[in-house]
Structure 1
Amino acid sequence: MSADEHEIADDKAHIRHRLDFSGAEWITSTDDPTEPGVEVAFVDGYIGMRNGAQQEGPVLVFTPEEWEAFVAGAKDGEFDEP
């Protein structure tokens, strides 16, 4: 395989510049303000996820289909520590 075949395509490049999460209502995964967790927000049909401890950091963007697969995997224990 060539180097180009190993690159992962950014399938959200066409929308990423249009999504504005700055005014989004972020939903946190925890009720404990001393223990910030993962935060999610819904903007223009996409789902953003960020680290609550680094709110100015990057936002992962999911399509609804990707989000459904992620949530299903989490419920199924796919991301549990061994």
Structure 2
Amino acid sequence: MDVIRIDKTGENFHLIYDTKGHFAVHRITPEEAKYKLCKVRMLFVGPKEIPHLVMHDARTIRYPDPLIKVNDTIQIGDWQDY
């Protein structure tokens, strides 16, 4: 689920798949546009026993929260700041 912003109109959208596998856009508020929802595809332990999460968009996060499991959906955005 990607966030799309149209600067001329100031509108924000989520680009999602519908039930038939086609792209659909869903209008969102500016507060919702500050984060992205990502699905966890894989959890593995890398070199030096460092845990990694791999998301559906190929993003990798090191040292995740131990409560996050495969197929969970997490919010990417503000929580990475600390």
Q: Same fold (TM over 0.5)?
A: no
> Where is the helix percentage greater, Structure 1 or Structure 2?
1
- In the superposition, the TM-score normalised over structure 1's length comes to 0.29
What's the TM-score once normalised by structure 2's chain length?
Answer: 0.29
Q: Which has the higher strand share?
A: 2
